[in-house]
Structure 1
Amino acid sequence: MNNNTADVGTMGAAGVSQVAGNAGSSVTRFALIAAFGSFVFGLDAANISGAVRFVSSQFELSAMQVGTLVGCAIVGVILALFFTGGFCERFGRKKILLAIAATYSLSTLISAFATGYTMLVIGRFIGGVAFASITVSAMYIGEVAPPDKRGKFVAINQLLITIGSLLAFIVNFFLVKALAESSWLNNDNVWRFMLGFELLPNIIWFSLLLTIPESPRWLVTQGRIEEARDVFSRVGPASHADRLVASVRESIDRDSRNTTVAQLKCLFGKPMRLVLALAVCYAVVQGATGMNAVLFYAPTVFEQVGMSVEDSFMQTVVLGAVAVIFTLVAITCVEKLGRRFLTLVGLALIAVAHVSTWYGFDSAHYTLSASALETLQAQQVDTAPLQSFVGKVYEDDVALKQDLAAVYSKKDLPLVSGAIINATIDINGIFVLFGIFAFLAAFNMSIGPVMWVIFSEVFSSRVRSVAMPFAALVQSISSYLIQQFFPWQLENLGAANTFLNYGALAFGGLIIMLFLLPETKNKSIEQIEKDLVYSRVSGASQGSTDEIAPCDRADPGS
């Protein structure tokens, strides 16, 4: 793991604070280019959401196989977390970002030209390894960006994820719309275009990365002082370059004495207990409240409401637009309203949204009437397997799906289930639609982007290089479980109970955050560390000015 990562805010408050307000357009451009990997991540996540129903049909997948196809990308993320920091230290941030961009392209080609399920899973897994771009981008941004823009620059990653998702939703919608009229598009190849068009943004990102400089902090660690000084001159006043280089050297000397083992002992020691509990709870809640279910399975979610295929894809476009708008709200408000306020309000709204979705689905019922069969026949759906169920009323979607699975093949079921639900459902859809859109808005204005801001602030430089990957690992595992089991949950628990579970997790997270989460707005990293660690070490008083590291003030193993 990386032993020397630290954002500009830890390089020396005196020197950096003078540069912070003078950062020009160069640092913004470098940060945006580095963060473009988040755009590609959002694109990739939304692409698979549109492709799932067609891939499931072509390769005749079970619910668990669909979950594996979608969730294997997060397994790639988890694997990459163990190596990314070391690679960044050895080869530099820029080279790793270039390698990641190339890996995305390889993943796209393998996925789009996959000849079977296994090959497609491998392609998706490789793309998951490339998802490390989010971590490396944040590392790069933290080492070139001014500290007073810390919250906004970190939150920009979430914005680009949502913009990437929106673009994918738009492309997927037009591809599905063209299915009925095109002679070259069909159910067996449309998913290849959904996954394959990502290659163009990948190439653009790779080309843009060639224009950014290497991280000045990494250059200093390699003894390339003049190059580091030149980079600092490009992102701030040249008169401060020498001072920043000296600050980085001092920070590196300090961190070199803080080994990975020492950091781990500190992180899991008694003084850091509150910080660690806060990070783990936040990571679990952020991943487990259902965002990846909605993002990676968006058309499937809307099909449960009874929408046609084309309408469900149209709703994903609206979904993507809502995500972009409310991520902009978060970026605008994170420094004004504060991290704690946005987190608590967001979790409360998420809980309400999921309860609304639960109520909508729970009050629905499904009737396989003769008129429903006529509607399906007009849509060219084979209704012969349904004849024995005519007149049957289903109180929930689980019973309906069980009967459909009994009479349709795995190839036909993904293509006809949406239309059958649409023809048979009686639902007050406003509760479901409100719930889904309110959830997306609340997530993207709160725990989505704010979590990474919190993590960048509560972990001091003494533990950050092991704490950030650990927190990302917890969040990735939480997200993976949602992606892996969402199709199984829909099939066995039903849409109502699935979203009710997400709502319960959000409410539990709200209660925990009420007690654990402090407000970090307008506080230096050093002050946050005093509030969370120093004041809770035995014998330390609130606001203590003692600068001894908390790991040295008490035995980490005690």
Structure 2
Amino acid sequence: SVAFFSNYLILAWSQSDSAIVAYLKIDIWQWRWMLGLEALPALFYLVGLRFVPESPRWLIMKNRPDEALSVLTLVAGPTQAKIELTAIANSLSNSPSKNTGSDSLGIATLFSPTLHKVLFVGMVVAILQQITGINSVFFYAPMIFEQTGIGTDASFLQAVLVGLTNLFFTILAMLFIDKVGRRPLLLAGVSGIVVCMLMLAYGFDTARYTLPVNALSEFSEKADTLASVAGQTFRSDVAFREAISNSAGAAWYTANEARLIQISVSLNSYLILFGILGFVASFAVSLGPVMWVLFSELFPNHIRALAISVVGLVNSAVSFLVQLVFPWELATIGIAGTFFIYGFFALVGLLLVAKFLPETKGMSLEQLEVELVKS
């Protein structure tokens, strides 16, 4: 949310005549400033890592039980800390790596029959988190809002609302994850994602695009070529883009897309705004934070670090692919079709989560290992 807000301020400042804007070249280096300012929270995060304690399980694995007890005491109190320490030590003493005399296990161990269930659940959640298009919505929020015809400046302002919504509902998830449980939050959140994605698909599918004849004077250099498409109504953004590009050229359309859509589109912009904010809220209260909590609980101690690394890699790979094809999807199948695809994937994920995801609330990692991993 801070990034969205700072980007909006930079965009607003770049259009002012302030001397400091000219001195800092904000009007010329908009994107450089937007990216550069994001180094500050990264720096704070780096400093904050200095105060994060080591995992007690890792400390026990490294034969540092006294330090592990200190960490557990800080978190759970002296009495519960001793109980947890004993349970962790017993769990690690029975782990395959201990029994084989090895400090680490190969990746093949992750695919052993005893881990099939937890690995499958972890993969489903890792893929689902990104295949619903959340990062595409975050990264391309101004572009998406421009498709509603509100203009570039307003689209950046509404992107700020996306960030604030994400922040608020993430805090809400933190407050309720241990009270409500992981499974109910995921089911409710993914259900909301399905509804909001279908809402967005419907909103953009019912949009109509008509270039007004009286707007040709605004594009005087292309007025003659645009006359053939002015006044025509197109049922999709793809058809509208193709017609304008064929008449005036693809490069010209790209340079003037925001203004062309702003004066041509007719849709329910409130429905679109509600759908996007609802999607972000549903994600922030479920898949966003809950996934990482689940990863730390699903996998047994002896394989947890490797397992989280693998499913995290899958999560990042899916995120990369979704963002890579998003502009292509907009240009090829349109924004309505893109959101429908995201909604379909969310529905499939919802069914898989409902069938296979166990509830992990209120159980220690050692209890979960006994429950989920059958030896």
TM category, shorter: 0.7 to 0.9
8 A Cα contact 2:241 2:253, kept in partner: no
Matches within 5 A, 1:142-153: none
Q: Are the structure 2 counterparts of residues 233 and 404 from structure 1 closer, same or farther at C-alpha, using a change threshold of 3 Å?
A: same
Give the whole-Å Cα distance in 1 for the aligned partners of 2:357 and 2:65: 40
Matched-pair contact (CA < 8 Å) for 1:263–1:462 = no
For residues 221 and 523 of structure 1, what CA distance do their matches in structure 2 show?
21
- Where does residue 353 of structure 1 map in the other structure? 196
Partner of 1:193: 33
Q: Counterparts of 2:367 and 2:91 in 1: how far apart (Å)?
A: 18
SS in 1 for 2:148: coil
Which runs of 5 or more structure 2 residues have no equivalent in the other structure?
none
Equivalent residue for 1:121? none
Q: Name the amino acid aligned to 1:511.
A: L
Q: Secondary structure at the match of 1:389?
A: coil
Q: How many angstroms does 1:465 deviate by?
A: 2.3
Letter of the structure 1 residue corresponding to residue 276 of structure 2: I
TM-score (normalised: structure 2): 0.85
In the alignment, which residue of structure 2 is the partner of 1:440?
280
Structure 1 residue corresponding to 2:13, chosen from 152, 172, 178: 178
Query: Structure 1 residues 191 and 399, CA, compared in 2 at 3 Å: closer, same or farther?
Result: same
Q: 1:438 to 1:197 in 2, by over 3 A?
A: same
1:175-217 CA-partner distances (Å, limit 9, x unpaired): 2222332363577521111111123333333444455566666
The equivalent position to 1:332 in structure 2, one of 164, 170, 175, is 175
Long gaps (5+) in structure 1? 1-165, 535-549, 551-558
- Contact kept, 8 Å, 1:404 with 1:417, in 2: the verdict is no
After superposition, the Cα gap between the structure-2 partners of 1:240 and 1:496, relative to the gap in structure 1 and judged at 3 Å, is: closer
Structure-2 separation of matches of 1:274 and 1:245: 27
- Could you state the TM-score of these two structures normalised by the residue count of structure 1? 0.59
Match of 1:322 in 2: 165
1:269 aligns with 2:104: no
What is the alpha-carbon distance in structure 1 between the residues aligned to residue 371 and residue 71 of structure 2?
A: 34
Change over 3 Å in CA distance of 1:281–1:364 after alignment to 2? same
Asked if structure 2 preserves the Cα contact closer than 8 Å seen for 1:335 and 1:521, the reply is: yes
Q: For residues 212 and 279 of structure 1, what CA distance do their matches in structure 2 show?
A: 25
Distance in 1, matches of 2:196 and 2:66, equals 54
Cross-structure match for 2:232: 392
Number of residue equivalences = 365
Aligned counterpart in structure 1 of residue 315 of structure 2, from 475, 480, 488? 475
Q: Judge which range, 303-312 or 382-391, deviates more.
A: 382-391
Q: Residues 121-270 of structure 1: matches in 2 within 5 Å?
A: 166-182=1-17, 184=22, 188-210=28-50, 255-257=97-99, 259=102, 262=105, 264-270=107-113
Matched AA of 1:335: D
2:150 matched residue in structure 1:
307
Q: Assess, with a 3 A threshold, how the Cα gap between structure 1 residues 241 and 382 changes in structure 2: closer, same or farther.
A: farther
1:426 paired with 2:266, answer yes
Alignment of 1:87-98 (within 5 A): none
User: Partner letter of residue 171 of structure 1?
Assistant: S
Larger mean Cα displacement after TM superposition, 348-357 or 216-225: 216-225
Do the aligned residues in 2 keep the contact of 1:283 with 1:472 (CA within 8 Å)?
Answer: yes
Q: Give the aligned residue type for 1:337.
A: V
Residues 220 and 228 in structure 1, CA contact (< 8 A), matched pair in contact too: yes
The 8 Å contact of residues 372 and 424 in structure 1, kept in 2 or not, is answered as no
Contact 2:212 2:263 in 1 (8 A): no
CA contact (8 A) 1:303 1:309 kept: yes
CA distance in 2, matches of 1:245, 1:467: 23
Post-superposition offset of 1:523: 2.1
- Give how far 1:501 is off: 0.4
Which of 323, 328, 347 is the matching residue for 1:507? 347
Task: Compute the displacement of 1:329 (Å).
Answer: 1.6
Judging changes above 3 Å, is the alpha-carbon distance between structure 1 residues 308 and 381 closer, same or farther for their aligned structure 2 residues?
farther
1:248/1:515 Cα in 2 relative to 1: closer, same or farther (>3 Å)?
A: closer
Deviation at 1:366, TM superposition (A): 0.5
Do 1:347 and 1:506's aligned partners in 2 also have CA atoms closer than 8 Å?
A: yes
Distance in structure 1 (CA, Å) of the matches to 2:325 and 2:69? 50
The verdict on how the C-alpha distance between 1:215 and 1:309 changes in structure 2, with shifts beyond 3 A counting, is same
Output the CA distance in 2 between the equivalents of 1:225 and 1:524.
18
- The CA distance in 2 between the partners of 1:245 and 1:529, in whole Å, is 16
Q: 2:303 aligns to what?
A: 463
Shift of 1:527: 3.2
One-letter amino acid of the structure 2 residue matched with residue 449 of structure 1: P
Give the one of 123, 133, 137 matched to 1:290.
133
Letter in 1 for 2:133: G
- Given that 1:330 and 1:449 are in contact with CA atoms closer than 8 Å, whether structure 2 keeps it comes out as yes
Letter in 1 for 2:12: K
1:341 matched to 2:176? The reply is: no
Q: CA RMSD in A?
A: 3.2
Q: Which of residues 214, 217, 241 is equivalent to 1:371? A: 214
